[in-house]
Amino acid sequence: MKIVIVTDAWFPQVNGVVTTLNFLKKELEKQNYQVDIIHPGLFRTSSFSIYPEISLAMNPWKVKNYINEDMDYLHIATEGPLGLFARNFAIRNNIEFTTAIHTKFPEYLKKILFIPLSLTYGYLKWFHGPTHKTLVNTNSQIEELSSIGFKNLVLWSRAIDRNIFYPRKKLSNKDYLLYVGRISKEKNLEDFLNLDTIKQKIVVGSGPMLNEYKKNYRTVEFVGPKFENELAQYYSDASVFVFPSKTDTYGIVMIEALACGTPVAAYPVTGPKDIIINEINGYLHHDLLTAVSLAENINSKFCEESIESLSWSNVANTFLGTLIPARPKLINT
């Protein structure tokens, strides 16, 4: 059986969408599915002005060349140029498909470009309207989207590689707070950087605000991107993992930290409130410093146990359960 997945986010990008699709592909292939990822690297690309490290397809109409009669299922993972042209082509040709909402893109655009939420959510509602099912990350997100008219929403959780992310012997003598993720405005990182604490702060990752933040926050240690075992060690050595974002739909980095036995401090917003249970695996509070102080007392064993049920096999099985036969009647151009 052949599954075609269209996405505007793929390697060399480093983000939750790419991580999810990469592990999903591997898990589906274990179950003997053929998975074709249709991504910007197959097209002529140009950098996205807001995020220079993100390349978008400049000739996305050619996505139709990859949507053909030998596929069994079509999933459109993103709402960018490739996703848009794939969606419209599928509708014109009576091809059934599923979609996913991975991010709070409207909130990103409002924070960075001041675009009204009504415009971007209007676009998303139009984009996902014809789909068989739309996969979303959390129950909180389902409630939010349902309240503004989205239909056919299905819960689709996330997981991590437990062969990499597990509690390790501490190798650092530093008592530090940790942030892992993109260094950009929409991640609300300044709330972490401005925490009034004597603890060392370490930032893992890269992004457009890196140089400015390094200049303005000289006591903070910016160590650049880290991966797999090295990243897991940073998680294990930290006293608390701090997640300051208010615009993420999930936050895979939170469950990576928990798997390493590190409690999480975050705001009580969509994403964190679907993962963090106060006094069990971290703390949610409207004052981030309070959340940090309370999270420090959490037992690391409880952190690890709290996400034991999350596995990529479950993620893949949920995905498969939402698919609908494409039944392509090829093909109008």
Q: Which domains does the chain have, with CATH numbers?
A: 2-159+313-322 (3.40.50.2000), 176-305 (3.40.50.2000)
Q: Which token pair is 81?
A: 């140029």
Q: What is the pLDDT of residues 76-87, one digit of tens each?
A: 999 999 999 999
Q: Name the one residue in this structure whose structure tokens are 């274990």.
A: 30
Work out the average pLDDT over 89-94. Answer: 95
Predicted pLDDT of residue 53: 75
**Residues 95/326, Cβ–Cβ less than 8 Å:** yes
Give residue-wise pLDDT tens across range 122-162. 999 999 999 999 999 999 999 999 999 999 999 999 999 99
Give me the mean pLDDT over the 192-221 stretch.
97
Residue 297: predicted pLDDT: 93
Strands 240-243 and 221-224: unpaired
pLDDT at 333 over 70: no
Count CB-CB contacts under 10 A for residue 44.
11
How far is Cα 264 from Cα 254, in angstroms, rounded to an integer?
Answer: 7
Average pLDDT (193-202) is: 97
* Cα separation, 180 vs 182, whole angstroms: 7
**pTM for this structure?**
0.92
Amino acid at 47: S
Residue 103's pLDDT band (cuts 50, 70, 90): confident
Residue 124 host element (H or E): helix 117-128
Q: Tell me: pLDDT of 331 over 50.
A: no
The whole-chain average pLDDT of the chain stands at 94
Instruction: Count Cβ atoms below 10 Å from residue 11 Cβ, excluding itself.
Output: 12
- Residue 317 CA neighbour count, 13 Å, CB half: 6
For residue 47, pLDDT beyond 90: no
Question: What tokens does 203 get?
Answer: 């930032």
- Helix axes of 228-237 and 252-259: crossing angle, nearest 10 degrees: 70
Residue 243 and residue 223 in contact, taking contact as beta carbons nearer than 8 Å: no
